[in-house]
Amino acid sequence: MSKELIRLVNCSMAFDGELVLDNMNLYFNDSEFLTLLGPSGCGKTTTLRIIGGFITPTSGEVLFDGVRMNDIPPHLRQVNTVFQRYALFPHLNVFENVAFGLRIGRTEEKEVNGKKKKVKVRIPQEEIRQRVLEMLEVVSLKGFENRRINELSGGQQQRVAIARALVNRPKVLLLDEPLGALDLRLRKDMQSELKRIQQQMGITFIYVTHDQEEALAMSDTIVVMDQGRIQQIGTPEDIYNEPKNAFVADFIGESNILDGIMHEDYVVEFFNRKFKCLDKGFAPMEPVDVVIRPEDIDIVPKEQGQLRGTVTSVTFKGVHYDTIVDFKGFKWLIQTTDYHPVGETIGIILNPDDIHIMHKSQYSGMFGDYSSYSEEYEEMDDVTMLDEEEEGSSREDGHEE
């Protein structure tokens, strides 16, 4: 359906012997909004810089339309970048910043009388003017042409950076955490703005961020990365509902992750109890990670519950309560709209589609336990926190077998 534009084949990148990108294989399609998502140091920015041409991969190939581009410098590539802190030229005003790429003109090889000649193609002034003004309108900066860069707010600078990149009509726009420097409110506005621009221009956006909400809100495709490797590729819904491993489950949204055993297709056992689920294709009696999203859990009176636990902490979050419930020493996060006071014993019901099964991975046992919940959310006084942490870890060990 859509055309493939860029492909990375077995790309690896090492700085001073340290591997930051490990054998990456990835392709980018025409007019999609693709997000590289991961914690800092996961290799997402490195990937972007390889595509932009600012670094050359240690090994592997970068293909644009099937042509090897490894050694082509950035100024000869038909991609443009929106830089992390915008990198706007402080000596030029808004108009000249946006016009920068257009004024440079490109040298193109043309055949003149059968000989190949390098010809400088310059864009006429009037066209430059038109395109710049058009672009400024797209990013809602009409009338700002003569402003100096340091007179603009962060959000406006952001828009200039986007206009400056887009005015060159690239096939692919690379965005390196472009909203990182903005405050929360502005970030939300710019998210929808970016999505709108992408759809309006109909080109590919490759977007780098560590903010999972941002990624979920804007992307057609999300690539979750960690430690230089791709952990999962999929639509936002896929990634959220069907995380491939504990890392993805934890990084995207909140998750309770527990150890379980897959008895047969559609049957999983945890807490010494069998549950129905929708997953299949696992080996019989295979140890697995079980993911349960906190908002999927229904709280019922204790007599009716499949499992019974005690509330240990409640935090009001506006829309819902974050309720921590202790099930046989393992603490779960449950998000409910009903208030259950600390000390109350409650029951829960898990429907088959609330349970998601993952294969064991290197990340198993690292995430998804809310025993140290208070540490993450409220900086409580140190003594109790330490105690809780110790308790939590010993319990976890006990639970492991």
Partner 1 sequence: MKNRRPLFAVPYVVWMALFVVAPIVMVVIYAFTTAAFDPTMNNFTGMGTYLSIFTRSFELALIATLVCLLIGYPISYMMAKEGPGFQRIATVLIMLPMWVNFLLRTYAWMSILENNGLLNQFFSAIGLFDLINGLFGTDIQYFRMIRTQGAVVLGMVYNYLPFMILPIYSVIVKLDHSLTEAAQDLGANSVTVFRKVILPLSLPGVLSGVTMVFVPAVSTFAISRLLGGGTHMMLGDLIEQQFLGGAYNPHLGSAIALVMMIIVVICMWVMNRFGEGEEQAVML
Q: Which residues bind partner 1 (CB under 8 A)?
A: 52-54, 73-76, 79-81, 83-85, 87-91, 100-101, 104, 106, 164-165, 168
User: Could you identify the residue written with the tokens 């430059």?
Assistant: 128
Nearer to partner 1, 147 or 274 (CB): 147
In the chain, the N- to C-terminal Cα span, in Å, equals: 48
Q: How far is the CB of 372 from partner 1 (least distance, A)?
A: 38
Query: How far is the C-alpha of 24 from the C-alpha of 42, rounded, in Å?
Result: 12
Nearer to partner 1, 51 or 348 (CB): 51
Nearer to partner 1, 167 or 268 (CB): 167
Query: How far is the C-alpha of 56 from the C-alpha of 214, rounded, in Å?
Result: 29
Closest to 215 (Cα-Cα) out of 255, 248, 244: 248
Q: How far is the CB of 9 from partner 1 (least distance, A)?
A: 23
Nearer to partner 1, 179 or 290 (CB): 179
Closest to 198 (Cα-Cα) out of 6, 32, 2: 32
Nearer to partner 1, 48 or 333 (CB): 48
Nearer to partner 1, 176 or 226 (CB): 176
Sorted by sequence, the CB contacts under 8 Å of residue 327 that are 6+ apart come out as 271, 307, 308, 309
Nearer to partner 1, 106 or 195 (CB): 106
Q: How far is the CB of 82 from partner 1 (least distance, A)?
A: 9
Give alpha helix (H) positions in 283-381.
373-377
The DSSP bridge partners found for residue 324 are 313, 333
Long-range pairs of 136-144 with CB within 8 A, sequence gap ≥ 24: 136/94, 136/95, 136/98, 136/163, 138/163, 138/166, 138/197, 138/200, 138/201, 139/163, 139/166, 139/193, 139/197, 140/193, 141/94, 144/94
The DSSP bridge partners found for residue 307 are 348
Query: How far is the C-alpha of 94 from the C-alpha of 281, rounded, in Å?
Result: 57
Q: How far is the CB of 74 from partner 1 (least distance, A)?
A: 4
Q: Is 101 helix (H, G, I), strand (E, B) or coil?
A: helix
Q: Is 256 helix (H, G, I), strand (E, B) or coil?
A: strand
Nearer to partner 1, 91 or 115 (CB): 91
Q: How far is the CB of 87 from partner 1 (least distance, A)?
A: 4
374 phi, psi to nearest 5 deg: -60, -30
